[in-house]
Structure 1
Amino acid sequence: MASRIVLFGATGRIGRITARALVEAGVRPVLAGRDPHRLENLSGAVGGGADIVAADAARPESVRALLGRGDVLISTVGPFTILGSPAVEAAVDAGAIYLDCSGEPRFIRRVFKHWGPRAAASGATLLPAMGFDFVVGNIAGATAVERSGAAAVRLEVGYFVRGDARRAMSPGSRASALGMAFDSMHRYQAGQLVVSARGGRPFSVGGTTRYAVPIGASEPLALPPVYPQLRDVSVYLSVDGMAMRAAGAVAAICPTLARLPGVRRGVRVAMGQLLRRPDRDPDAAVPIQPVVIAQAFDPQGRSLSDVTFECSSPYEFTGHILALAAVVASRDGVRDVGALGPVKALGLNRAAQLCANCGCREPPLRPRR
């Protein structure tokens, strides 16, 4: 029997897309958020007669009240480093299945390292970063390793965004990005997680070379447990319209600046100001074209496999993958407890199919002339 699906943060940009996708999938979700009036309007707009419940991250007890054992909780309430903890705590306490769309390195590390063991003990399953970042890289990376076999010991994943990504960002995404700029990145190196930044590297994308800077993603935490032969996993980002080498230099300095008195507090104030700005309708967002590349290497540094995924709008993809993954988890369950990535939780084939259903897949092979 399918369990309930609760969507916390339903009236935000990602939340609205997720609510529509859940109803389109035949689910009657529970829509939760701070404003009952906006929730009522959303329930009517999606046409599914969804139940609504008031809940606020500032009142953790209201978030705990949303869940029973075995329920599925989708959280789109960010920035997650500021607002995300109550939803994870509630899922752990209830033994629920939890999904979020965080891309924030510090929060992702905390889910895997702090809450993951607690979730395993309580029977909960935590699936952080279940949006465009970083589901696509997990699936592309796993595909590259599967095609390479046991010789694949190093994996590098690059996220490339074509178009004016800055104009397309929601206020919540801007706030999260500001917080990430002052956070330490991480990678998997020599068989262990290393929290620090490393220099960028060039990737070949569509016949041109793009420089990308390191980011702290979920792949370094989620893929090594699935593929124990991996000794190194790194993830990079490149965005059109940004001087990526300069961005990498700034990103290397900001975590040090964050240790200075008052800096972290000032960043939080600025993030709060961004969150108070009005958001555009997601359907009116500026079109952007993301590409994700995963490359697997042998111990001698020789390339074994090169996998490319082309994607639709990151916001649309995120809302739909959250919804469809939640539906699968509700109806069929997941493969393990604790903090997991999409490959370990759902299996590579199912996760890749969900990804394709949401508009992100490998392009067809072009015939040689």
Structure 2
Amino acid sequence: MSSCSHQPTWQADGVRRRIVVIGATGRTGRMVSRELAGEGRLLLVGRSPESLGALGRELDCPVQVARLEELGGVLEPGDVVVSTVGPYDLVGDQVVTAAIASACTYVDVTGEPRFLERIYDDHGPEAGRHGVMLLPAAGYEFVPGHLLAHRAATAARGDARTVEIAYLADGGLQAGSASGRRSLVRAMTRSTRTFRDGMVRREPVGERRSSFRTTAGRRSTVSIGGAEVWTLRQHFPELTAIDVHSGWFGPLGPAVTVGGQLTRPLRLVRGDWVLDRALALLGDGPEEGLAEGTSRFVARCRDERGRVITRREAVAGNAIVLAARLAAATADRLAQRDLRDLPTGATDPIGVFGIDGLAEICAWAGLVELDDGP
């Protein structure tokens, strides 16, 4: 994460800043837009005049038809940009670049490790030099993990050396969008970052398997990497390992591990491209599925001997709905903040809102923290 004393000349000075939703007509974009409608200045941006016009009329919001390469003519200094485009690994960089060039605050809901790598390693320093804040992964991935890991590490009172975080979902994923499934494919067919033995390492997704105890039983997981790999060390320098896992695959975890090992040959024969195109043609899943499913999150800390010493758990409803509500709440609160109060460069939700502010956002979005011990 980076910081810089330079700030854009535009300041809020008590005036609510405009929120601009990029990709407003996609599944997640529509949900974020509906959450934000009526909360203040809002602009919906998309490529389809028909779909965008219909959404604008539904929400009584202004709209702007624009391609990603035209965002420079749409954005204004001080805007809060919410990027819901995807897959981020394919098109996300264009939105980040436009936000930095236009002196906008940037938010997204990515869960793609390689895109996060570019956010923190490449775009972050550039944003810092321009006095701009980037807040990636402000949805299901990876906001709850930050909250629970902070809770668990704080309770460990300096004795935590390893933090392990699990993102779990019981049902409801059939309602995912085509771009969301494409993002998942790209995430699973590219290497990720992890932090182990005090060093940042690169490894295939699914390299390691584990299991986590939850109030609904034990869940099998595979390693995926996440934003916490970059951010938690800033808050807890005593950590020597940060491990982020997904339990979406259940008993198919071993297959994910094997698939991770085949990442390089799969990409060499363009197998990932073929699957990406097939998923794009399938379209979005049924919206009825958004009313189903339970999201679960666990964070646990181990001491230097590997013993679990603290543990925290939280639950919410459908993972896709939770992602949209978290992103909307994040953007809404940022729109009320003066730029001079924000960090610059690529940051994390704890660095922006503090742990109490982050807990309020999560609670509003429907995340319920459970009482639990080691």
Aligned to 2:126: 118
How far apart in 2 are the matches of 1:212 and 1:278?
27
Aligned to 1:351: 358
Deviates more, 1:290-299 or 1:280-289: 280-289
How far apart in 2 are the matches of 1:279 and 1:245?
27
What secondary structure is seen at the aligned counterpart in 1 of 2:158? helix
Could you list the per-position Cα deviations for residues 201-250 of structure 1 after superposition, in whole angstroms to 9, with x for gaps in the alignment? 12112263322100021111121112222221010111265421222222
Could you list the per-position Cα deviations for residues 7-64 of structure 1 after superposition, in whole angstroms to 9, with x for gaps in the alignment? 000011111110111115x223100010122111101212xx211111223xx2x112
Structure 1 residue aligned with 2:155, among 143, 147, 150? 147
How far apart in 1 are the matches of 2:229 and 2:319?
21
How far apart in 1 are the matches of 2:216 and 2:366?
23
Contact 2:312 2:371 (C-alpha < 8 Å) held by counterparts: no
Q: 1:362 to 1:129 in 2, by over 3 A?
A: same
TM-score calculated relative to the size of structure 1: 0.91
How far apart in 1 are the matches of 2:172 and 2:288?
16
What secondary structure is seen at the aligned counterpart in 2 of 1:145? helix
Q: 1:234 to 1:346 in 2, by over 3 A?
A: same
Structure 1 residue aligned with 2:303, among 283, 298, 311? 298
- The amino acid across from 1:12 in the alignment is G
- The amino acid across from 1:248 in the alignment is T
Q: 1:209 to 1:320 in 2, by over 3 A?
A: closer
Count of matched residue pairs: 355
Q: 1:301 to 1:365 in 2, by over 3 A?
A: closer
How far the C-alpha of 1:351 sits from its partner, in A, is: 0.9
Could you list the per-position Cα deviations for residues 135-193 of structure 1 after superposition, in whole angstroms to 9, with x for gaps in the alignment? 1111111111121122222100011211263x232211111111112110221123332
How far the C-alpha of 1:272 sits from its partner, in A, is: 3.6
TM-score calculated relative to the size of structure 2: 0.89
1:52 and 2:59 equivalent? no
- The amino acid across from 2:141 in the alignment is D
Question: Which 4+ runs in 1 deviate beyond 3 A?
Answer: 280-286
Aligned to 1:216: 225
1:307 and 2:320 equivalent? no
Structure 2 residue aligned with 1:170, among 169, 177, 185? 177
- The percent identity for this pair of structures is 27
Aligned to 1:31: 44
Q: 1:64 to 1:277 in 2, by over 3 A?
A: farther
How far apart in 1 are the matches of 2:372 and 2:257?
33
How far the C-alpha of 1:195 sits from its partner, in A, is: 1.3
How far apart in 2 are the matches of 1:185 and 1:179?
11
Contact 1:22 1:28 (C-alpha < 8 Å) held by counterparts: no
How far apart in 1 are the matches of 2:97 and 2:35?
26
Contact 1:105 1:186 (C-alpha < 8 Å) held by counterparts: yes
Contact 1:335 1:346 (C-alpha < 8 Å) held by counterparts: no
Q: 1:2 to 1:207 in 2, by over 3 A?
A: closer
Aligned to 2:107: 99
What secondary structure is seen at the aligned counterpart in 2 of 1:203? strand
Aligned to 1:204: 213
What secondary structure is seen at the aligned counterpart in 2 of 1:11? coil
How far apart in 2 are the matches of 1:30 and 1:281?
26
How far apart in 2 are the matches of 1:321 and 1:124?
21
Deviates more, 1:189-198 or 1:343-352: 189-198
| Structure 2 unpaired stretches of 5+ | 1-14
- The amino acid across from 1:87 in the alignment is V
How far apart in 1 are the matches of 2:55 and 2:30?
7
What secondary structure is seen at the aligned counterpart in 2 of 1:27? coil
